Amino acid sequence: MDSEPKCFVQDVTMSVMHGDILPVRWDIEKDKMETVESCAGPQDEGKIIESSLSCSFVLIHGDFSFGTFERNCFVNDWADKEVFAPFESVLGEGITIAPGRSYLENISDYIPDPGPLGEFKVKLDRINFDYCGPSRQVLTSTTDNCCMANFALTKPYVMQKGTITSKDSLQIAGSVPVTDFEAMDGVSIFEKYNLQYYTLIEAEEFDGGVAVDNLIDKFVKKYSSLAVGA
C-alpha cells in the first residue's frame, strides 16, 4: 500500500468505563490507493482488490495485549446510531474520507474486570489484502503496525455538575434524580452501576472538628517558618 493508514483521535481525551462502548475510527486513505473489483487483466497488476481489505485491531496496556477484533476496512457501524452522534460532531473535519467507523459493544468483554485500569491503546495492528499479480494471479499481503490511539479505562463513575444533595432520592443539585441518567448502552446508570448500594456522605460529615483544625494550624505555622522569601 502506498498510503499510510491513520488512526483519528478526538480533540478531547477518550475515557471509557468498564461495561461501556468503545468507539473506534480510522482511515486507510482509500483515495490514495489504486483498487479494483477483480483482476481483469494486465492493466490491474499491482492494484488492490477493494473487497479484500480487512483491518485487524488489538487493545494494548503497557507490554500486554488484550482481545483482538477485525473489521472490514470501510465499514461504518456508526450509521443510524444516535449514541455516536457526539463523536461525529467532535471529529468533524475529514469524516467523509475516513469511512472506517466501528465500536466494541462492551469493553469488559475484552479487558477483564477486575483488571488493569488507566491508559490503553487501540492499535490498528494489521491490514490484510489481496492484490493482482502477473497473469491475473491473486496474491496476498499485509501492512503491519499501522497506527494507534490512546484511551483511558476507568471504573464506573458519575460525572455531574453540582452536588448530590439527597441521600434518600439520589438527586443531583436537589432536583434531577440520578435515575434519569443512562449509560451509553441505554441502561439506567442507577441500575447498571448499583448506585443504591453506594454510601453518600453529606458535606457536613467532612468536618474533622477541633482536632483537625488544630493539626492544620500547626502544619501551616511550621511550614510558614520554613519558607524562604524572594
The CATH number given to whatever domain includes residue 60 is: 2.60.40
**Which residue from 149, 130, 128 is spatially nearest to 58, judged by alpha carbons?**
149
- pLDDT of 198: 59
The rounded distance, in Å, linking the Cα atoms of 176 and 85 is 24
In a domain? residue 114 = yes
CA torsion sign for 36, 6, 60, 100 is negative
Residue 212 lies in a domain: no
- pLDDT, position 70: 92
Do residue 140 and residue 34 come from a single domain?
yes
Q: Are residues 86 and 167 in the same domain?
A: no
Confirm if 60 and 121 have CB atoms less than 8 A apart: yes
Domain that holds residue 177: 158-205
> What pLDDT, on the 0 to 100 scale, is given for residue 11?
46
Specify the amino acid at residue 85.
A
Residues 18, 106 share a domain: yes
131 and 187 co-located in one domain: no
- Has residue 218 been placed in a domain? no
Does 190 fall in a domain? yes
Q: What is the pLDDT along the chain (230 residues), one digit of tens a residue?
A: 444 556 665 445 678 888 888 888 888 777 777 888 889 888 888 888 888 889 999 999 988 888 899 998 888 888 878 777 766 665 545 445 456 888 888 888 898 888 888 889 889 899 898 989 888 889 888 888 888 888 889 887 655 444 444 445 554 444 456 666 676 667 777 777 776 665 555 556 666 778 888 888 888 888 777 655 54
89 within some domain: yes
Query: What is the spatial distance between Cα 35 and Cα 48, in angstroms, rounded to a whole number?
Result: 5
> Quick check: is 224 in a domain?
no
Same domain, 116 and 164: no
Q: What are the residues whose beta carbons fall under 8 Å from the beta carbon of 130, sequence distance 6 or more? A: 48, 49, 52, 138, 139, 140, 141
Q: How many domains does the chain have?
A: 2
